[in-house]
Structure formats: structure tokens, C-alpha cells
Amino acid sequence: MPNPGAYLSLNCASFETFPSEAKALPDPASPTAASVPAALRKNDPVFYSDSLGGWVVTKFQDVSDILHNHQDYSSKGRVLHLINKLEPEIQSQLPMLQMHFATGLAHSDAPEHKRLRGLLAQAFTPKVSESMRPITHEIVERVIAGLISDSDLIRDVFTPVPALVVGRLLGSTDSDIPNLIRWAGAINGLYEKGGVIDPLKAIYAEEMLQEIRVFVTKLANERRLLRDRNQLDPSQDVLAGLVNAELQGDSLSESELVSTVVTLFVAGHETTTHLLGNGLLALLNSETELQKLKAHPELIPNAVDEMARFDGSVPRSWRLTKRDMVISGVVIPKGQLVLPILSSANRDEYEFSNPDKLDLERDTRKHLAFGRGVHVCLGAPLARIEGQEIIKELLSKFPNVRLAVGIEELKWRKDVALRGLISLPVLL
């Protein structure tokens, strides 16, 4: 493998070496981490990061091109790429993790990905997501009704609501939610250091993955029993739709079914939690936009997308190069990890006017917070619904909501995989 600390510029005649961390993204625990310096996009739009274990890509157009180009950039094996860096004795203890990240929707390329997404789309349609709005509203209304004058919105609203919603969507019960939160936290925690997986976190994630796979298999078998008795309603939840699809010529294998449902459980929880937390903080920190939204609640749908652009919960994606690629004049060899920085792309001054300002009337259609291309987030419509219902209910019930502490006192997650607050204390 070539020295990743060296790159070939098309404007240079030879390889030049640089200290990779001289060019670095902001500290993920910083309140301003979402605002990648414009100078980095202008002067060093592509560079290798030792701490992230891959090539950082910061410009909107480059990021968008990567997300659209599944022919040259692979999603298959990208997590295994990180697991394979662990010591062999650690890898031998991770059979479930390796199987999980070798199958399923999020970890596949065409034609396998096209087949899996087509099957899943039969059960997880925009209509199904919209059908969740009344259920989401009921959950939001119930949760917000339980708030007291001083609350932590991360703990009291933004964590339980997405967990309850995705749990209902996939066919679990409310009593399963504490386990869902624990499982999702363990698996998402794998990526907190970017391109390096902590061995102890990997072993813990392996244990949690075994638990959630047993749980998902049990739910699937319950629906198969109903199906065999001609008592299954395929529209009752996504899992029922996937099980019903098994009757067709092409269906999900057991491993694909479990891996895909586990991914939906995990991806549909914390990402939405932090999308909401980051977004509401931005709103509370912009008095003009907050008052505008109170006066014009019809702006709420666009406001949710602007919050996602402004400070999204998933700051980067990642792919593996299938061949030598050139990005902004930098040659990246085949088999390298590429990290398109979504947060930087969404603040690119060449694509968005005054990008560091929250503007609820902005045209947000081209933001990349939910990804783009064949791997665009399947749960984005549901995340939007959750955000809309929560903001509407929160501002309606508590129009004077405000921060209980100074912004400088808020604590942020330290990992690079998810951008989010540890807590959001407010006065209602």
C-alpha cells in the first residue's frame, strides 16, 4: 500500500509529503465543529488524515460526485476495512460483526444493493413513512406532555421519540426501547475515532449485536407464523412487509433480513436524536429565525431541512476507492478509504450563500445531510416527519423555551461519526 501521508498533485512533478494533521478538521467536541474553515476547502480540499484513517474531501462538488459515483467508490467492505486493522486475536472474537458488515443494504454495491433496496422499498415506501405521522404525533404529544419546567431535551425528548418511532415502524413494543437504545449506542460507538476501531468497543459491540440479532430473529419468526396462518398484514410494519416478500421469487436471505433490520434500528435512532438536538440549539441561538418560525409555522418542513444542512448529525460518509481516483488534483490509490465531509459540503460558500447562517427560508433542496445517490438515507422521510412533529408540538406547548445554560457550557460528543450534544438543558 502506498504511503498515505504522501500524495500526487497533478500540478507537481513528484510525490510530496506533509504532516497530515497540519491540515485537520475542527475538533468534533467543539461547538463550532460543523463550520469547516473555508480556507481548507479552498487551499487543501483533499488531504490524508492519520487520525481518521483516510482521505478527507471537503468541497461540495467533490463530495456530491463521490456520493453519486457508486461505480468507482464502494460501500461494500468499508467497515470490514476498519475491523481488519485490528489484531487477529481481536478479529477472531468478532464473527457477528464481520457477518453483519458483510451483508445488508448499507454494506453492499450494485447489483446486490439494487436488489436489496428494491425488496426493502416494497415495505419501506414514502407512503409507509407518511402513515407513521399520526403515530409519531401521538408519541411526540405524549412525551412532551411529560416535560417539567427544566428539562434536558436530549434525554427527555430527542432520545425516546426516535427510538419509540423506529421501534413501532419495525414492529417492536415500547418496552423494548431501553434495549434498542443500548444496542444502537454500542454499534454506533464503533466509529467514534473515525478510521480506528477501539478493540474493547468492538468486543462490546459484538455482544450487543448478538443480542439484537436474537431479538430481530424472534420478531421475524413471529410474523412468519402469522403469515403461515394467513393472519399477517404486510402493512402493519416494515418487518412484516419484508417477511411477506419472502413469498416472492427473490427475497432477503435470513442474514440479509437480520442485518438490514438491525441497520434500520441502529441508523434510525441516534442520527435523528442529534439532528433534532443540533437543530433546536441552532434555532434557540438565532432569535430572529426562532421568532420567524413561531409567526410562520408553515416554515417548519423547510426549517427541519435547513437545520440538517446547518448542523447535521452525520458529519461524514465513507467509501473505498475501486480504482485509482483523482479528486481536486489529488491522486488517491485504489483500495483507500475516502471520507466525504458532509458538514463541510453543506457549508460550502460556492453552493450556499452566507452558509454559516441559519436561514429557514433558504432553498435547501441540494443539501447533503441525508447523503445522495443510491445510498441516500432510506429513513430521511421519517426523520423529517419526526422533526416536524416535535418542533411544532414543542413551540406550541412551550413558546418561551430557552437554554438553561450558556452555549459555552454545553458538552458535545467527542466522536467523528455522529455530531451531537450530550445534553440540552432548557427552561420551559
pLDDT over 60 (residue 88):
yes
**Which of 287 and 125 is assigned the larger pLDDT?**
287
Is the peptide bond between 111 and the residue preceding it cis, with omega within 30 degrees of 0?
yes
**Which of 183 and 120 is assigned the larger pLDDT?**
183
pLDDT over 80 (residue 21):
no
Q: Is there a domain that residue 275 lies in?
A: yes
DSSP H stretches of helix in 189-338:
199-228, 238-244, 254-267, 270-284, 287-295, 300-311
Extract long-range pairs of 228-234: CB within 8 Å, 24+ residues apart.
234/123
pLDDT over 70 (residue 132):
yes
Distance between terminal CA atoms of the chain?
A: 56
The whole-number average pLDDT for the span 2-14 is 35
Q: Is there a domain that residue 76 lies in?
A: yes
Average pLDDT, the chain: 88
**Predicted confidence (pLDDT) per residue in 329-378, tens digit:** 999 999 999 999 999 999 999 999 999 999 999 999 999 999 999 999 88
The whole-number average pLDDT for the span 43-59 is 92
pLDDT over 50 (residue 14):
no
What DSSP designation does 8 have?
E
Q: Is there a domain that residue 372 lies in?
A: yes
Query: Domain span at residue 207?
Result: 6-427
Query: What does the radius of gyration of the chain's CA atoms come to, in whole angstroms?
Result: 22
pLDDT over 70 (residue 248):
no
Say how far apart CA 74 and CA 366 lie, in whole Å.
Answer: 22
Q: Is there a domain that residue 1 lies in?
A: no
281 pLDDT tier (thresholds 50, 70, 90): very high
Domains in the chain, number = 1
The whole-number average pLDDT for the span 387-414 is 95
Q: Is there a domain that residue 164 lies in?
A: yes
In CATH, what number is assigned to the domain containing residue 411? Answer: 1.10.630.10
| pLDDT for position 195 | 64
**Residue indicated by cell numbers 419468526:** 221
81 pLDDT tier (thresholds 50, 70, 90): confident
Distances (CA, A) of 65 to 61, 68, 170, 285, 382: 6, 5, 32, 33, 25
Distances (CA, A) of 38 to 21, 114, 309, 351, 366: 17, 36, 16, 12, 19
Distances (CA, A) of 245 to 37, 227, 249, 342: 48, 11, 9, 34
pLDDT over 50 (residue 18):
no
Q: Is there a domain that residue 195 lies in?
A: yes
The whole-number average pLDDT for the span 16-31 is 64
Q: Is there a domain that residue 150 lies in?
A: yes
pLDDT over 50 (residue 13):
no
Say how far apart CA 54 and CA 77 lie, in whole Å.
Answer: 14
**Which of 269 and 296 is assigned the larger pLDDT?**
296
| pLDDT for position 247 | 62
Farthest-apart Cα atoms in the chain, separation: 71
The whole-number average pLDDT for the span 315-324 is 94
Q: Is there a domain that residue 24 lies in?
A: yes
| pLDDT for position 325 | 98
pLDDT over 90 (residue 123):
no
Say how far apart CA 276 and CA 421 lie, in whole Å.
Answer: 10
The contacts of residue 174 (CB under 8 Å, 6+ apart) are 164, 167
| pLDDT for position 351 | 96
**Predicted confidence (pLDDT) per residue in 106-122, tens digit:** 888 888 888 888 877 77
